[in-house]
Homo-oligomer: A and B are copies of this chain.
């Protein structure tokens, strides 16, 4: 009964305007070489029928084969850091007339492959990825077939691509050094799996800072593989019950920080990786290692579009700055602090 009026094609517009489809194509794409009068007639027909070009057919036929679509694969868009990355990516893409397909790996390598296969089946021009733990070599075939790839936030082992990251190692080494300078010697570390590039780096930074201060690392103060605030809360509670509990704790990212903060006793120093909205409003205000997800994503998107438009220079690694923002929680003095045990 309800006949659905299918969308008009170029040939319908051509019939309406009394020209050939080629002329319609030229007008629709704003090409030169159409008489103004003809162009106006075609434009009127387009408006009258409500014609809209079918980009699927267009992409199939065009020589450049560009879909004007890129894929963004993150762990989880609900994560505030990744949400900021997605937002910034969409913004740059929009400015360049592109759209963003989004996919979540949810830390699952199998799902990661599925999502990327779905991206390439739709012939995206490029991919922006935060790779999950493990080997990314399977992306090489997509790469050799012309799909441009940029990694953001995390590097991809085994894959030679543009990468935009921060100096996770240096940032954590600095932060742990900061705690040590405030008199702490027993410092807890809470992170996700070491196999995730960022967390591997952050843990290395933690160890390096302890080593530089001549402190023996105690594995009892370290927890890996934490995925949620609840995980982090349980983990920090556990390490605080140890015979020699830590006097300071570092949370490896924002989500873990929320969980830690909920159960951390006053008096234990605390630094979080990633700045977050209410960090300054908590009691005490939270000292953080701030990075700028918008800048990371913007840089990655610009790199990607440069590649899509023909940049064939060797892959680059862009390292963006971090900033240690002391707000109070990271400056709570430890047992070796001069303010607690003055020497003079």
Contacts and interface: CB of A to CB of B under 8 A. Distances in A.
Interface in A82-117: 82-84, 86-88, 90-91, 94, 99-104, 111, 114-115, 117
A47 to B, nearest CB: 12
A341 interface: no
Nearest to A82: B83
Copies of chain A in the complex: 2
A282 interface: yes
Contact of A78 (B84, B119, B123, B258): B84
A87 B77 contact: yes
Determine the interface band of chain A, counting residues with CB < 8 A from chain B: 35 or more
Given A56-B123, A122-B56, A146-B4, A87 B94 contact: no
A54 B104 contact: no
A102 B90 contact: yes
A101 B79 CA distance: 18
A5 interface: yes
Given A4-B145, A56-B60, A94 B104 contact: yes
A298 interface: no
A213 B262 CA distance: 38
A76 B123 CA distance: 26
A88 B104 CA distance: 10
Contact of A280 (B7, B90, B262): B262
For A60, A76, A78, A123, the residue with the greatest tally of chain B CB atoms inside 10 Å of its CB is A78
B103 A102 contact: no
B83 A80 contact: yes
B78 A87 contact: yes
Given A5-B145, A280-B262, A282-B278, A121 B55 contact: yes
A35 interface: no
Nearest to A278: B278
Contacts of A101: 69, 99-102
A59 interface: yes
A52 B258 contact: no
A66 to B, nearest CB: 11
A32 interface: no
Interface of A: 2, 4-7, 50, 52-57, 59-60, 67, 69, 72, 76-80, 82-84, 86-88, 90-91, 94, 99-104, 111, 114-115, 117-123, 141, 144-146, 229, 258, 261-262, 276-278, 280-283, 312
24 contacts: A6-B146, A52-B117, A52-B120, A53-B121, A55-B123, A56-B59, A56-B60, A56-B123, A60-B60, A69-B122, A72-B102, A76-B87, A77-B86, A77-B90, A78-B84, A86-B86, A91-B104, A94-B114, A99-B101, A99-B103, A99-B118, A99-B122, A100-B103, A229-B277
